[in-house]
Structure 1
Amino acid sequence: MTTPATPTPAHEARIHNIGYRRYTGERLGSLYARRSLFIHSLRGAYGLGRSARSKVLPIGLFVIMAAPAIVSVAVATVASQDELPIGYTDYPLFMQPIFGLYLALAAPVMVSLDLRYRTIPLYFSRPVDSADYVAAKFAALSAALFLFVAIPLTITYAGGLLAELGFATQTEGYAQGLAFAAAFAVFHAAIALLTASHTPRRGFGVAAIIGVFTIPYFAVTAVQAVAVEQGNPDNVGILGLFSPGSLMDGLQSSFLGGESQFPENAEITGTATQAAYPLVALALVVLCYALLLRRYRKAGL
């Protein structure tokens, strides 16, 4: 039978100082937290700060993305051509398969792993709420995609100037290419993040993103080809509004001087149809962003 412990008399109690002190330094706040999350996510999109194996695919895809820019400049210089083989606004569409692979790789890395390892509540325990998290991730993926396209365009521009293809022409085309690259990046980032945010499995996220962008594009392209063959080319522009890839194609061909990639190079007819392309693209970005905010208000619980 154990003897109950004798309580320590009040006059013999001790308070031991174990070294804890209050933090008296500067509190950097939510702005610093958002900026840190943005930089961390942007670096992670290219495998920086991670293992060497994590860098292979993003860096490899970037090299493949930039290779046609180098080749086109070399061809234009050696063959003394008057223009580049690939236009500035055509470049993202020409390299869309590589861009799509990088997008499917980068978006799940940014959000799916946080869901899988349940680190979202840890973020929200700091001066970061769901709106801050979504804004930082969206900005980081948009910036990563923009760099993925803009750096090859910059290589093309520098090569065009070295090949003496005309400063004014190259500068105008380069400015249009950068504008399209920005719209291209923001549009794809919104859809890809929303898709990846619904699964904690990175592999499922990759497959879902590829499906979301690929299946509607091929379906719309097939229907557009049928419309052209049946003598209804005016319907091609309307059909282009129903897939992300054709929507971006119509946007650059209508407003940025690019060449249409529609079947038989069909052009968008009608002012109302042309005006619908930027409006639909903007509406999709806003809708996806709003759904992301709703998604992470629940994910943080």
Structure 2
Amino acid sequence: MSSPSDPAPRGQGTGVIHDLGYRPYGGPRLGAGAVAWSFFLTGLRNTYGLGRSARSKVLPMMLLTLVVLPALILVGVLVQARDLLGLDEQIVAYSTYPITTQLMISVFVAAQAPALISRDLRFGTITLYLARPMTRAAYVLVRVSSLTVATFVLIGAPLLLMYVGGLLADLPFGRETGRFLGAAVGALLLAACLSGLAALVAALTVRRGLAVAAVVVVLVVSYTVVSSIQGIALETDAEAVGEVAGLFSPYTLVDGVQVFCFDAPAATPTPPTSTAMGLLYVAVVLLTVLATLAGLMARYRRVRA
């Protein structure tokens, strides 16, 4: 082999291989589980703009503030004026609070689902994630889990604040704990339904603006239509029609489950009144979550790694 100083033969290049001293990684390889966990944490942080630009933090933090602020006011009134007003329970029930703030919750889910789902499809990073070692099923579950936990934090934070305020106001510990835990289960079911539907809609388009608008239509318009039908059904003594209509909006659906399973105060005009209808509400919640996951799996089967 000729040295670098030797003249190169006619027609050949003069390239030289240099040993820079780099060594290959010889440590433990954590595998798909560690990748999925890291991916989950990154997605959860990104939903609130953590680790991203300041502009990305504005909307989620503002929505979180708007959701928590009414609960903070209610807690202040309960703690400071309980005896004066003769209050012996929460001013607004745990189970009904998410519906009173459903607009902010819907906007949050509509804004963050495309950020997690549509962006990967638009810029092609999904092909890198699926190359190795993450599978399509793991990608879908991790992305939906990140969005679900972020939404659960948004819904559950004011409920936790109200619970702590109730204990500070010396409301019965056992009663408040039972109601809070029932509302926490309802918040988790609502977060799972909203996140699954929003992720499925966002996966159908690579345009973020279109995905946001579509998710808002699905969540907000469905609730508006269903609540209108329920109000009319109550006025016309057709409660059965209102109960069936409640199956077609995540908010009224989960509210019906809380009424049936935990005997919580109803936030809708026509909650389920029979055991059969209550079981149907529970079944539809589970089917909604499973169906959205199945739809996402089918969508990502067409994505090449």
1:204 match: secondary structure:
helix
Amino acid corresponding to residue 284 of structure 1 in structure 2: T
2:272 equivalent in structure 1: 268
Counterpart pick for 1:182 among 173, 181, 188: 188
The answer to whether the 8 A contact 2:246-2:271 is kept is: no
Note if 1:204 corresponds to 2:190.
no
Note if 1:296 corresponds to 2:300.
yes
Counterpart pick for 2:102 among 73, 84, 96: 96
2:121 equivalent in structure 1: 115
1:91-170 residue pairs with structure 2 within 5 A?
Answer: 91-170=97-176
2:73 equivalent in structure 1: 71
Note if 1:5 corresponds to 2:7.
no
Q: How many Å separate the matches in 2 of 1:242 and 1:228?
A: 17
CA drift of 1:55 comes to: 0.6
The answer to whether the 8 A contact 1:76-1:82 is kept is: no
2:94 match: secondary structure:
coil
Amino acid corresponding to residue 146 of structure 2 in structure 1: A
Structure-2 change in CA distance of 1:231 and 1:283 (3 Å): same
The answer to whether the 8 A contact 1:146-1:185 is kept is: yes
Amino acid corresponding to residue 210 of structure 1 in structure 2: V
1:299 match: secondary structure:
coil
CA drift of 1:163 comes to: 0.8
Percentage of pairs with the same residue: 37
Tell me how large the CA RMSD over aligned residues is: 2.0
Structure-2 change in CA distance of 1:99 and 1:7 (3 Å): closer
CA drift of 1:82 comes to: 0.9
The answer to whether the 8 A contact 1:89-1:256 is kept is: no
Q: How many Å separate the matches in 2 of 1:154 and 1:207?
A: 31
Structure-2 change in CA distance of 1:18 and 1:278 (3 Å): same
Structure-2 change in CA distance of 1:14 and 1:105 (3 Å): closer
CA drift of 1:203 comes to: 1.1
1:286 equivalent in structure 2: 290
Q: How many Å separate the matches in 2 of 1:101 and 1:275?
A: 30
1:13-24 residue pairs with structure 2 within 5 A?
Answer: 17=19, 19=21, 21-24=23-26
The answer to whether the 8 A contact 2:255-2:271 is kept is: no
TM norm structure 2: 0.89
Amino acid corresponding to residue 177 of structure 1 in structure 2: A
CA drift of 1:204 comes to: 1.0
Amino acid corresponding to residue 76 of structure 2 in structure 1: A
1:212-231 residue pairs with structure 2 within 5 A?
Answer: 212-231=218-237
Amino acid corresponding to residue 118 of structure 1 in structure 2: G
CA drift of 1:141 comes to: 0.7
Note if 1:49 corresponds to 2:56.
no
The answer to whether the 8 A contact 2:190-2:251 is kept is: no
Superposed CA deviations along residues 181-239 of structure 1, whole A, max 9, x for unmatched, are 11111111111111111111211111011111122222222222332333222322122
CA drift of 1:21 comes to: 4.0
Counterpart pick for 2:249 among 237, 243, 264: 243
Q: How many Å separate the matches in 2 of 1:273 and 1:74?
A: 38
Q: How many Å separate the matches in 1 of 2:80 and 2:22?
A: 71
Note if 1:253 corresponds to 2:259.
yes
Q: How many Å separate the matches in 2 of 1:300 and 1:195?
A: 20
CA drift of 1:18 comes to: 5.0
The answer to whether the 8 A contact 1:150-1:178 is kept is: yes
Amino acid corresponding to residue 55 of structure 1 in structure 2: K
